[in-house]
Amino acid sequence: MKKTIITLFSALALTVAACSTNPFTGKKNLNLVSNSQIFPSAFAQYDEFLKENKVITGTKDASMVTSVGQKIRNAAEKYLASIGHTEYLNGYEWEYKLVQNPEVNAWCMPGGKIVVYSGILPVTKDEAGLATVMGHEVAHALLNHGAQRMTNDMLAQLGAQGVAVASSGTSQTTQQILQQAYGLGTQFGAILPFSRAHESEADAVGLTLMAIAGYNPDNALSFWQRMQANSGGSAPPEFMSTHPSGTTRINNITKEIPNAKAKAAKLGVKY
């Protein structure tokens, strides 16, 4: 018991020391995993994925993925330079690949390794639609969401250990009830909302990036409306999902567009 309490206090001290401010949001984030720890593993996994899947090269679509990705990256660099944080991208190794896959999806690994599935292109339709997706995925990388989710999982595991210690003197039935309640509480009260918060952050920062890159962020609304229509109403209830509902996302994006345009305008970008 004493050893566990010492461990919990040590972990608490570590969390305080691991807080840093993200230049894109101005928020303090808790990261128990550094870029130097997570990037090499992410890069290796990305390379392995590319070996095991069909990467599309030499086509108009593949060129568009690379071109839009580079424009979004340049926008990030431009924004960071404007606020005096060019060092923030140290260690990032940007890469953008179009992969043959019918899924309507795109994702990024920590450190800027991005994959766009060919199945999403009929929904993006054009360069502005693709910029919406690429801006969103690049934003995930810039916001260090991978490290934050790993940190959240680590803290959830630590909390579960605390529940086990606190209930150790009760009956086995009581212990099971407490453990189950903790599991449901962290799943629906922390982990999923935490992921939805990440999606909303990536939407907002992605809008700013696409705006600075020269794409009118108004186009993001059309893309997400097409995504909502494409889902066919099969999405789970919002409180059980890692992503905001289509309606919530569109409403949030509508509110964020003026802010994205204002930030782009400060850097001389007009539509």
pLDDT of 199 reads 85
Which listed residue (95, 137, 201, 256) is catalytic?
A: 137
Q: Which residue from 128, 120, 127, 135 is spatially nearest to 230, judged by alpha carbons?
A: 120
Tens of pLDDT along 200-227? 899 999 999 999 999 999 999 999 999 8
Instruction: List, in order, residues 6 or more apart from 64 with CB less than 8 Å away.
Output: 127, 130
Where is pLDDT greater, at 10 or 149? 149
Alpha carbon distance 176, 178 (integer Å): 5
Q: Which residue from 190, 203, 206 is spatially nearest to 158, judged by alpha carbons?
A: 190
- β-pairing verdict for 113-117 and 106-109: antiparallel
Question: Helix, strand, or coil here: 26?
Answer: coil
pLDDT of 230 reads 85
Q: Is the pLDDT of residue 182 over 90?
A: no
Count CA atoms within 13 Å of residue 234 on its CB side: 4
Per the annotation, the verdict on 137 as an active-site residue is yes
pLDDT of 228 reads 86
Tens of pLDDT along 126-178? 999 999 999 998 998 888 776 666 666 655 565 444 444 444 555 555 445 44
Map tokens 């360069």 to a residue. Answer: 127
Reported pTM: 0.75
Transcribe 36-99 into DSSP letters.
HHHHHHHHHHHHHHHHHS-EE-SSHHHHHHHHHHHHHHHHHHHHHHHTT-GGGGTT---EEEEE
Q: What number is the average pLDDT over the span 245-263?
A: 91
Domain residue ranges of the chain, discontinuous segments joined by + = 29-149+190-266
Tens of pLDDT along 53-97? 999 999 999 999 999 999 999 999 999 999 999 998 999 999 999
